[in-house]
Structures are given as C-alpha cells and as structure tokens.
Structure 1
C-alpha cells in the first residue's frame, strides 16, 4: 500500500514503511523520518538516502526514486550521476550571477526607484538564502525556502519577490543555464502551495493638512540636511527618492523649474515642477552647491543620504505618526478641499497618469505655468503661517526672525 502525506505525518512507531518505485520511509526510535530508495545496478543491490521528511516531500522523493531506478535500468550509475551533477553545480552560474546580470540588462528601461527596489529585494530576501546556489538546480523546494518566511509576514513584498524569482529563472533558461519548467511560476504551481489571500492594502499614514503649518514651523527649527530635504519634498509634492536623489543640474534657476529626468521617476517619464519662492529658499539653505552634484547628499557629500534618513527625522526624532510618502496625500487632500484647481492639474502635479492612452497621445504639454500658482499657493499655506519663526540650534533670535524661508527670494545663479 502506497504512503500518503497524512499517513506519514501520523506514523509514531519506529520501522521501515514501503512506498512504490523502491522508495521507503525509515522511522528512527526518536521518530525522525528519512527516505531511502532501493535499486539494482550491475547486479548490485543498493540502498541510497534521499533526505529527511518533510524537508523532502513525498512527491519529491517519488520523483527522485523513479529517476534513479530509470537511470540504473539504462546502465547509468545513479551515484555517479549524482556526483556529476554536484560538480556541474559547482561550476555553473549561480542565481546571484544571473539576477545581477538580469538587473544590469534591464535597468536602462527602469526608473531609479524601481531598480533600487529590485536590488533591495534580492539583497534582503533572496541572495542570503539561494544567491550562491547553482541556478540549474533550483527547484520548487528551493523557491519555497525564500517565500515561506515572508509570505504571511510581508505578503506584498513576498508577491514581488516571487514574481522577480520567476523572471530571473526565465532569463536563466533563455541563457541556457537551466531547463525544465519554472519552479517559481504562480499559475498551476506555486498557487497550489501558498495562499493567494493577501490583506487589503492599507493607505500610508499621512498628516492632516490642518496640522502641516505647525509641523513646518517645527521642521524649520531642525538644523540638518535631512530637514531641508523634507522641507523641499513637502513644498514640491515629490516622492522621497526624487527629493533625496535631486541634483543641482536639474534646477533651472532662470525659470524656477525642477526638471526630473525619466530615469529617476516612478512612471519613467520626465517630470517638471515649478518651484515656489519657499522651495528656492530651501535650495539656497542647503549649502551643498559647488560641493556635490547632489542637492541633499550625505554628511561627506559623496553619495545620497541613507534611505531611512527622512523617516528617522520624521518619526524617531520628531515623533510624528505618519510616513514621508504620506505628505503627497496631505498635498492632494489640501488641493481637493481648499482649492478650485482641476483634478487633471492636481494629478499632473503629483506625476500621476491622467487620461487613457488616446488622450495622453494628444496631450503633450506639462501645464507648467498653470501649475505655478498652485505650488505658490501651497507654499504660502505651509510656510506663511509659521510665524513666529523658531530659532534653529545655535541660531540667534534676531537671525531667526530674518529667516529667508518666510520672505520672497529671487532665483540666484
């Protein structure tokens, strides 16, 4: 009688339990369970171990046992074949090799943020587990070692990781580094092993627009590059990656415009933001012009600030219960409730896609000048109610009263 998964789980008596294809389950006195397969090669009867249950499932054990007996019947030594495959695996391309090459080949068509997300997910969730494993031997069990630890705890991350595993393994097959079905595919495969129930996405916490002026007053008192970056992010309605990666050569001082290239945009399209006087003042206060190509670099002015710099300032230091990205929702809510700007103009300000494909094909402009009054009005709301200004650390009350963020500033060259 063949074994079943349920029968195996309920075995509590030591012994040897036969299955098919020469496969048997050996249960030790301590009730540990391991697979063995019996086959005959060149007249010699052999018993080879296949691994422990449940590390090796019943289906996997049967598949391996059947393959070994078939090899033996064709005059191929299963043990020698196993060693050969080990040697192949040692010299074969690893998953990390192919993943990095895949990212390198595609990054020119991705935004900087999307590239960073790919690299971060590989670094944090995949490479530590299977990065050094030969891509030719990655199977369903291997894929599950990556997904199981995060499938319930971080479902959205896990969904993206699975998709990226599938894409890299397809790429490896195209290169000839592996063959067979893709063990990371969802439909008809991984969906049979992992639940497809994901929690309803929860909107990122945002600050109410009524609370923003008071927060901006406190933020003005913070004397750090992260504080200036956060001010700039709020005043321009941009994403954190766009603000933290902002470069001086993207600023058009003559026309007071920040031109963000497509490579740094989530939608992979160029985006222009008219700069209010308050935003221009923040740029002047950074003190990094001429010292770095980046507007808000790290302390050494050699690279971008750490990814969590703005969050640490907002949550850890200033004690706010909201996210950096949530300020975009604050901006959008204020536009909707306190202004008469059109929905199209508001969505364009946030670099959101507006209209269907046909409409976008015939709408080539950025409505930059129509958006300029919007950004000035937003800046006045956020900044002008900051009176009286709060001195930054080490700043005298007299200088604080003259804080340039409260006064109009002419573009400088």
Structure 2
C-alpha cells in the first residue's frame, strides 16, 4: 500500500469513463463501471487476506472526502497492534452521519403502520438483516453499486427471488434517503439500465402451483373430517369459503354475523386491501356452531394457547398430510374455480368474487356497485354440497 498518494485530480475523477480502476495511492481507488457509475474503494491487507471497503459513490462522496476516509483506514492499520479499518471508519462517522440500518429503523417506524400484514413487515426486516448485512454500518450516502452487489452476489443464483426482493427493498430505502436529502446521485440499487448489466438475468421456467382436480375434493374433505384437529377444521373452513389460510386462521367471532350467515372481513385483513363479505353455507355454519358452543377464545380457531390463533404453518402441514405434498391452498382455490366453470352455470365474475379476486371487464365492473352476496351464497352452498357429498340438497339460482 506504500507509494505516492493523491495521484488523482478532481477533473480526472469527473471525466473517467468506461470500465476501469483508477488508483489515488495508499489503497484508495475510484472504480468505474461500464455504465459510468463510480464508487470509492479502499484495499488493504488484513490477517492474510486482501479485503476492500466501499467508501461511497462518486460524486456523493468527493475526492477530498474519500481521501479523508482512506486516511482514517490507513491510520488504523498503522497502529500497534493494527486496528480493523472498518471499525475505525465506523467510529469516525460521528453523530451527524446516518447509517443504512439507522435509516431502515427510521423508515420502518414511519411506514410499517400502513403495511397490511405483520408477516410482511417481519419478512421485510428479516431479509435486510440477513442479506444486506454489509450495508448495515455504512453511511447511507456512501453506498455504492459495488456495495449493493456484495449483498446480492452470494444469493443471486440459489435464492433469486429473495435476492430480487432484497434489491428492491434497498432501492426503495435509498430513494427515500435521497428524498430526505441524505444522499445524492443515481440509486446504486437500480435494476434497469444499471445492475441488470452486472448480474445475470437468465429466464427461469415459471413453476405454477399444482392444480388439484376438483373430482378429488370430496375424498379429501372426508379425510379432513377424520382428523380431530383444530388445524383440520381450519382447512375445511378454507375449502368451504374460498378464503386464504391466513384469513381463516386469524378469524375472530366478532367478524361473524351468525344470524345472517355472513363473515365480514375488514380491508386490513384482506390481501387486496378491500372489505369482503363471505356467505356461509350449511357446512360452514356447522363448523362454526360446533366451535361456538365450546369457544374458549376470541379466535374462532384457537391454538394451543387460547389467546393465540392456530398457526398458519400448522394448518398448511395438515393440508399436505391430508392431501399430499402437492396440495396447496392455491390448488384448493383453483379446484373451486374449475368446478364452478365446468359444473355450474354461474358467470365467471361470481366465482372470482367468491375468491375475493378483482374483476376487470366492463360487465364484471358493474358488480362493484354491490358484491353479489346472494348469488355467491347460492354458489357456495352448491360447492359445500359437492365437497361434503350432499348431492340431495337443492339450491336454485335466480338469474338477474
């Protein structure tokens, strides 16, 4: 690392183009990408290795500031015994510098209350804790494309979906930081016209959820009934109502109008963020009545601890045990949709609304003035009859 210092000039740094590495001396380099993005790196020897530290993107971090940061790193290495430059740089940041993780905490405190799902909030933080760790202690104005790549490369091939989500979350945070004037310049996590040139983007075969033949549903429902488990009642209820597992697991008695046989879910409980009413068939009402008479919790489907709902993972495990490894909630909902299309004369939009899907055609949009509750009630009763094998029950669907 010995040699001439301060080789670069401000004009040379500004004019640098094309993929190259410009040395300023003493371990400080200006890295230039094919697309012209620039960032500062400090290279050094430490415990038999040659690590490098990102000192920030250019021009957000000027040549003079990069030299100051490199000098702090060199001073740490010159001490006896030598100190880790990363620790020294972190300690020299000062109170006025906002680190990436400090901004994550600030941003999440402001934005998490508007997020729909607690599980989504936890997954957001968990992914950044696990995979954006190299950025945690960095000043948010010093993050460069190379720093982002250091987070993504280790998981890009084996955990592509996770890596893409992490990249998107980093980009969102850095956009917010720029809006608060905490950083300048292009977003180093931007994909189009930027990281897409540095990371392979092979098209992978899309894996669709396995469809469950609706002909198999009655036998599956019978196997569920043989299981004396709360999680089995959840899966039965999911099948009879077209609900998602998370919606059913967290259902509370206060959401039900048992006299009018309706389950009312508020917008914050729904994936689509819209209030939804679910008509209750005879079979769904029978499940609710059996649980209501012996209820011990505000939750319809309590877990081992009455104050907690049955776990979503427990319900999914029961689903696969009763149906097989290929059985998914999406598969159950698809089975209902296929059955409605092939075995009934109900319009497509009625079946879609039963699944809380948003309908898009002009004819379908007309239903948005209401929610076709009574039409859906007739459809769901027919479906319940099919699931339970109660083919003698008659439901008349009135047109109009």
TM over 0.5: yes
**What residue is the counterpart of 2:259 in the other structure?**
254
Q: Name which structure has the greater RCO, CA cutoff 8 Å, separation 6+.
A: 1
Following superposition, the deviation at residue 156 of structure 1 comes to 3.0
Q: CA deviation at 1:218?
A: 0.8
Q: Does the Cα contact within 8 Å between 2:251 and 2:301 map onto a contact in 1?
A: yes
Q: Which residue of 2 aligns with 1:79?
A: 71
Give the distance between the partners of 2:162 and 2:130, measured in 1 at CA: 16
1:213 touches 1:381 (CA, 8 Å); kept in 2? yes
Unpaired stretches in structure 1, ≥5 consecutive residues: 1-18, 25-34, 38-47, 387-405, 407-413
The 5-angstrom pairing of residues 4-403 of structure 1 reads 20-22=22-24, 50-51=43-44, 56=52, 70=64, 78-80=70-72, 85-87=89-91, 89=93, 91=95, 92-112=97-117, 116-123=119-126, 125-130=127-132, 132-134=136-138, 136=140, 137-286=142-291, 290-316=295-321, 319-355=324-360, 360=365, 363-384=368-389
Structure 1 residues 77 and 317: CA distance shift in structure 2, 3 A: closer
**What is the rounded CA distance, in whole Å, between the counterparts of 2:24 and 2:103 in structure 1?**
37
For 2:4, the equivalent position in structure 1 comes to none
Q: Are the structure 2 counterparts of residues 279 and 88 from structure 1 closer, same or farther at C-alpha, using a change threshold of 3 Å? A: farther
Q: CA deviation at 1:97?
A: 4.2
Deviation per CA, 1:123-150, whole angstroms, max 9, x where unpaired?
Answer: 1x32134354345243323322332233
The alignment partner of 1:272 has SS state of strand
With the length of structure 2 as denominator, give the TM-score of the two structures.
0.73
Distance 1:130 1:243 in 2: 34
Structure 2: which 5+ runs fail to align? 1-20, 30-40, 75-84, 394-400
Describe the shift of the 1:354–1:144 C-alpha distance in structure 2 as closer, same or farther (beyond 3 A).
Answer: same
CA contact (8 A) 2:43 2:51 kept: no
Identify which range, 296-305 or 312-321, moves more after superposition: 312-321
| Superposed displacement of residue 268, structure 1 | 0.5
- 1:228–1:286: 8 Å Cα contact kept in structure 2? no
- Superposed CA deviations along residues 64-111 of structure 1, whole A, max 9, x for unmatched, are 9xx8975699xx684148888523547555544433443443345443
In 2, are the aligned partners of 1:129 and 1:145 still within 8 Å (CA)? no
- Tell me the secondary structure at the aligned position of residue 325 of structure 1: helix
Residues 69 and 142 from structure 1, CA distance in 2 versus in 1: closer, same or farther, beyond 3 angstroms?
A: closer
Q: Bigger shift: 238-247 or 127-136?
A: 127-136
| Equivalent residues of 1:50, 1:61 under 8 A apart | no
- Mark the CA change 1:102 to 1:293 in structure 2 (over 3 Å): closer, same or farther: farther
Q: CA RMSD in A?
A: 3.7
Query: Do the aligned residues in 2 keep the contact of 1:257 with 1:274 (CA within 8 Å)?
Result: yes
CA contact 2:263–2:280 (8 Å) conserved in 1: yes
CA displacement 1:8-35 (0-9 Å, x = unmatched): xxxxxxxxxxx753459xxxxxxxxxx6
In the alignment, is the contact (CA less than 8 A) between 1:227 and 1:313 conserved in 2?
yes
Task: Give the number of equivalent residue pairs.
Answer: 341
Query: Following TM superposition, by how much is the alpha carbon of 1:165 offset from its aligned partner in structure 2, in angstroms?
Result: 1.8
Relative to structure 1, is the Cα distance of residues 181 and 283 closer, same or farther in structure 2, using a 3 angstrom cutoff?
same
**C-alpha distance 214-55 of structure 1, shift in aligned 2 (>3 A):** farther
